[in-house]
Amino acid sequence: MNTATSVKKSRRPAAAASPPAAPAEHCRFCQTELQTTFVDLGTSPLCEDFVRPEHFNRAEPVYPLHARVCHACFLVQVGEFVRPQDIFRDEYPYFSSYSTSWLDHARRYTEQMIDRFGLGPEQFVVEVASNDGYLLQYFVERGVPVLGVEPAGNVADAARAKGINTLSKFFGQATARKILSTYGPADLLLGNNVLAHVPDINDFVAGLKILLKTDGVITLEFPHLLRLMAGRQFDTIYHEHFSYLSFYTVEQIFARHGLTLFDVEELPTHGGSLRIYARHAADPGQPVGERVGELRERELRAGVNELDFYRSFAEEVKQTKRSLLTFLIGAKQAGKTVVGYGAPGKGNTLLNYCGIGTDFLDYTVDRNPHKHGLFLPGTRIPIHHPDRIAQTRPDYVLILPWNLRPEIMQQMAGIRAWGGQFVTPIPTAQVYA
């Protein structure tokens, strides 16, 4: 009997091994292990990886889009699944100059910096992530020497075609030293919507310090995390945006690298952005202004240094998704036609997370000719010239770059002739006549 029992036991299948735990992720600034979810948007393709017609039947790679918050420095971030070299490659589709409102913003910035810091032919301005020269062209018009730093080859070529000296490199300490040895230090070192795009944020900020003149000034613009949260702007989270930044955290990052933030402006761009002004910590020429302390205290009162502040965002994102799907389902059940306007990165996060394809949007349009004839990643929604809207006369136009709503509604005002209406998806679906 004991023998039989022994045999029976020996025939039991071995217990299945536990699946290996996912490797721990660590904060890209302070290296603390990341333990707290900010929002999990599932998996998604790269937002600028548009599908060519000849590749329509190929599978697309998708990657986790899971944002976490560091409990030590409170940097919100997504993991690095793809190298920047594979994102900002020779055929990058984003060109800043196709937005008239963004060009106006760049022109006003140029005038403001020239007036405030006395920039002229004797100074040197460097823009990191200078794209197609959308901004530096205005410094050139005023006789200020410039250099652009733009890793995407085709976009850098467009800048050079405008007569703007452009270096095709990723920016960090090595590139900063190369520029310093070739051109000298920068009096004004700027970057718009680049700080969030760098996976090695310490190397990037250290590079800024290397290239900055002893009494020079840095300005950077980036979406403000508090505005992102208040407006449920989850669609601005995608793989190309590695970090989501509060003033509280950015101040820590710059201080670590010997840079002091001496001023800050709150801007309406991209749903709410910050423009920070930095200098060498040892430079007394730019005293720290009142706006720095005011914003720091406002953020602390909001709770940016407490994990509880971040924990409700995921549920608010689900509410935004339900609102948009409720509108689209109702519109389709009523026999209405809906199309999109724009093919921005944020739109691809929105559509993939919400599961919106051609069952809801017949197509989308974009002013950028580099996107015409392609398909949105993941959803495979076709991209056409804006003239397509007048040809098909849809009932609704869903504005995917909702931050440009006034500009787009003005451009497309003709849809009102057949009773067409505009819709924005964030923070909840809203219809505009």
Per residue in 67-92, pLDDT (tens digit) is: 999 999 999 999 988 766 666 555 66
Task: Give the pLDDT band (50/70/90) at residue 33.
Answer: very high
pLDDT at 200: 96
Distance CA 132, CA 154 (A): 9
pLDDT at 117: 97
Q: Does one domain contain both 112 and 254? A: yes
CB 166 within 8 A of CB 135: no
Q: Does one domain contain both 334 and 304? A: no
* pLDDT (mean) for 281-300: 97
Cα torsion for 424, 427, 429, 433, to the nearest 10°? -50
Q: Where is the domain boundary, 275, 310, 345?
A: 310
Is pLDDT at 17 greater than 50 in this prediction? no
Q: Is residue 246 part of a domain?
A: yes
Distance CA 273, CA 279 (A): 20
Q: Is residue 359 part of a domain?
A: yes
pLDDT at 47: 85
Task: Give the pLDDT band (50/70/90) at residue 12.
Answer: very low
Q: Does one domain contain both 354 and 299? A: no
Distance CA 94, CA 144 (A): 26
Total number of domains in the chain: 2
3-state DSSP assignment of residue 5: helix
Range(s) of the domain holding residue 261: 96-310
Q: Does one domain contain both 350 and 281? A: no
Q: Does one domain contain both 288 and 356? A: no
| Percent of the residues in the chain that have a pLDDT greater than 90, as a whole number | 84
pLDDT at 23: 63
In tens, the pLDDT along 356-401 reads 999 999 999 999 898 999 999 999 999 999 999 999 999 999 999 9
Tell me the average pLDDT of the chain. 92
Is pLDDT at 6 greater than 90 in this prediction? no
Q: Does one domain contain both 335 and 268? A: no
Q: Does one domain contain both 202 and 339? A: no
CB 40 within 8 A of CB 370: no
Lowest mean pLDDT among 1-5, 273-277, 323-327: 1-5
pLDDT at 2: 43
Q: Regarding beta strands 364-365 and 338-341, do their DSSP bridges make them parallel or antiparallel, or are they unpaired?
A: parallel
- If one compares 102 and 5, the residue with the highest pLDDT of the two is 102
pLDDT at 222: 96
- If one compares 80 and 351, the residue with the highest pLDDT of the two is 351
Task: Give the pLDDT band (50/70/90) at residue 224.
Answer: very high
pLDDT at 56: 94
pLDDT at 92: 60
* pLDDT (mean) for 3-15: 41
C-alpha closest to that of 73 among 229, 221, 202, 207: 202
Q: What CATH number did the domain enclosing 162 receive?
A: 3.40.50.150
C-alpha closest to that of 155 among 177, 132, 136: 132
pLDDT at 7: 38
Q: Does one domain contain both 239 and 367? A: no
* pLDDT (mean) for 283-292: 96
Q: Does one domain contain both 138 and 283? A: yes
Q: Does one domain contain both 271 and 218? A: yes
Task: Give the pLDDT band (50/70/90) at residue 9.
Answer: very low
Is pLDDT at 355 greater than 60 in this prediction? yes
Q: Does one domain contain both 275 and 351? A: no
Distance CA 270, CA 419 (A): 29
* pLDDT (mean) for 290-295: 98
pLDDT at 420: 98
* pLDDT (mean) for 315-336: 98
3-state DSSP assignment of residue 149: strand
Distance CA 38, CA 312 (A): 8
Distance CA 286, CA 289 (A): 9
pLDDT at 19: 46
In tens, the pLDDT along 246-258 reads 999 999 999 999 9
